[in-house]
A and B are shown apart, each in its own frame.
Chain A
Amino acid sequence: MSFPEIIVLVTAILLTITTAATPLLLAAIGELVVERSGVLNLGVEGMIVIGAVVAFVMAQITGNAYLGALFGMAAGCIFSLLFGFLTLTLVANQVATGLALTILGLGISSMIGENYVGQAGAKLEPIAIPLLSSIPLIGPLLFDQNILFYLSIFAVFGVSWFLFKTRLGLQLRAIGDSHGSAHALGISVIKTRYLAVMFGGACAGLAGAQLSLVYTPQWIENMSAGRGWIALALVVFASWRPLRVLAGAYLFGAVTIGQLHAQALGFGIPSQLLSALPYLATIVVLVIISRNKRLTLMNTPASLGQSFVPDR
């Protein structure tokens, strides 16, 4: 293989990795904010799949993939409100409600998408950034991508800035660590958590839109295929740090795609082992991270998963 050929292959592999990592990143960064506010929403999978179906159907109806993505985002957001209402207003158990949201999302999405299965649809085309996109290797990778890729990267740095550099971000983290104290300080716990949950829903909706408008531009039932759960794992993996979510999503994407290439090259490594690699990698990193107990505890939102009822 000559050098230019290798560059082409590497670019192609890296491009595939970004496509695989983007939905995980979008969903995980949303869930990170939700969990930082002390809410555990296990319904990520359901919100993704709702986002995917609505994005695809609306893109078909309007003929515009961008509108589709916007509707997908809105759908994820609205769907998450259901979770918010049940757990924040009615104080239902978050774990059970989240699981129910996933099951409901899978069911509703099948119903909405029934007449759209297998149709070829509009897709989000890459937007080339002038000049930058002509840099070899990096150009096509970072500057000739679809809008959701740019958004996912932007979201990571945006969330990082928001959480650690703004007053509102500090309040949100305070609520996640001790909702009682935050309430005593006069911060509106429920309102902030509603906003966080909606942000998480919107991000999951966008992740779904990425699946049905970029990854495989069509609607297929259950097309999220467990990515919501991986996103949830990534948040823990990243110990609730935005930049580590970025690293985790890309590591996961790289191992997933890398193992397919290793197989195609005929390395003769058992494929079951290769398929398990992304999960093994996650476990290994989790073990390494959790060895330092103090650090883990410092990052974990202390009120995570606990319901809040203001006493006055």
Chain B
Amino acid sequence: MKKILLALSTAAVISLAASAAQAATKVCFVYIGSKTDGGWTQAHDIGRQELQNHFGDKVETVFLENVAEGPDSERAIERFARSGCELIFTTSFGYMDPTLKVAKKFPKVKFEHATGYKTADNVTSYNSRFYEGRYIQGQIAGAVSEKGVAGYIASFPIPEVVQGINAFLLGAQSVNPDFEIKVVWVNTWFDAGKEADAAKALIDQGVDVLTQHTDSTGPMQVASERGVKAFGQASDMIAAGPDTQLTAIVDTWGAYYIKRVQALMDGTWESQSTWDGLVDGILTMAPYTNMPDDVKQAAMETEAKITNGELKPFTGPVTKQDGSEWLKAGESADDGTLLGMNFYIKGVDDKLPN
């Protein structure tokens, strides 16, 4: 252990010296998974590479992979803050409180936390309206599912995931009002085996379309084997299911990272809270494949409508799972409600964990 610590501190000293010599802006990333997970973390790492290519020598990017949420992440973030990182992106929901804690100790260092909701003077919160893509996916599922039941592999019952489930169902119900979804919580972001098991369980119980809010390509692979259709998550997962993937929500963080680092260099960086969507290009849809042309056409139209603001996925009339009215006809949900979403809408065959 001592040796490891020694190696780490030497590395920190060396990188500190290096950054001083080049006077490059040091930008650091904390990842929940591995940079080649084919999903969430890979999307962030592609963003990091775009950032590096954009600025060349002027920026030094460093990342840490497989950092568990909780106390481990606090240590990792603090190490970055000590090692001369000027801007630290923490890219998982569970890093929120650790990020704020470290940020308090290092007021000169800037932090950006992804997909949370808390900010501070030196902590920005940035997020993407993944649910816009989920709505399109749901619409496709509603059209291609013969049984009218989709399987949803969910990670943790946080607002972002609940938004996704509800948006997916609203999209599906816009095509097939009786559409239902079965939800399985795997309580992990990344465990290919467990995600695959969940996919098998759902398929065994008769769903013919799968979607996931976990990060590995395990479910896509099971779907391919069993001959059902599926949606990719965070990255284009077409390689894992060439005849299976209908489309995928693709996170494209690069432009945002470039914008924020530029702001830091210009001295205009300020704490903010952003929630961009399809219109800002932070979210894109993978090509619509393995579906009939009319479904593809409809999906593209919906994508265009959401992008130009004509369609808001959470627009009434919407009834909650317990039968009470949530949104009146024509009424759209405000961001505050969405960010704290802790209830299902009608048609989800599951009880929401607390």
Contact = CB atoms under 8 A, between A and B. Distances in A.
Contacts of B272: none
A7 to B, nearest CB: 12
Interface stretch (A75-83, A182-190, A209-217): A209-217
Contacts of A216: 192-193, 196, 216, 218, 221-222
Given A225-B192, A260-B184, A275-B185, A9 B36 contact: no
Contact of B350 (A16, A96, A266): A266
A117 interface: yes
A226 B216 CA distance: 16
B185 A221 contact: no
A108 to B, nearest CB: 14
A223 interface: yes
Interface string A255-282: 0110011011110111110110000000
Contacts of A215: 192-193, 196
A311 to B, nearest CB: 30
Interface residues of A, number: 41
Given A272-B187, A275-B186, A110 B192 contact: no
A16 B218 CA distance: 14
Interface residues of B, number: 42
A106 B65 CA distance: 12
A118 B239 contact: yes
Interface stretch (B22-30, B79-87, B197-205): B197-205
Contacts of B182: 264, 266
Contact of A257 (B157, B197, B351, B353): B197
A144 to B, nearest CB: 15
Contacts of A264: 151, 182, 184, 201-202, 205
Contact of A225 (B193, B202, B222): B193
Contacts of A261: 201, 204-205
Nearest to A274: B185
DSSP class of A's interface residues: helix, strand, loop or mixed?
Answer: helix
Interface string B27-64: 00000011011100000000000000000000000000
Nearest to B237: A118
Interface string A180-220: 00000000000000000000000000000001000111101
A260 B198 contact: yes
A272 B351 CA distance: 12
Contacts of B187: 271-272, 275
Contacts of B157: 271
Given A120-B240, A265-B205, A221 B36 contact: yes
Given A263-B185, A263-B350, A264-B202, A220 B239 contact: no
Given A120-B240, A264-B205, 9 more contacts: A16-B204, A117-B37, A215-B193, A218-B192, A220-B192, A260-B184, A261-B201, A266-B349, A274-B185
Interface of B: 1, 33-34, 36-38, 65-66, 151, 157, 182-188, 190-194, 196-198, 200-202, 204-205, 216-218, 221-222, 239-240, 349-351, 353-354
Interface of A: 9, 12-13, 16, 19-20, 96, 106, 110, 114, 117-120, 211, 215-218, 220-223, 225-227, 256-257, 260-261, 263-266, 268-272, 274-275
7 contacts: A211-B193, A225-B193, A261-B204, A269-B351, A271-B184, A271-B185, A272-B187
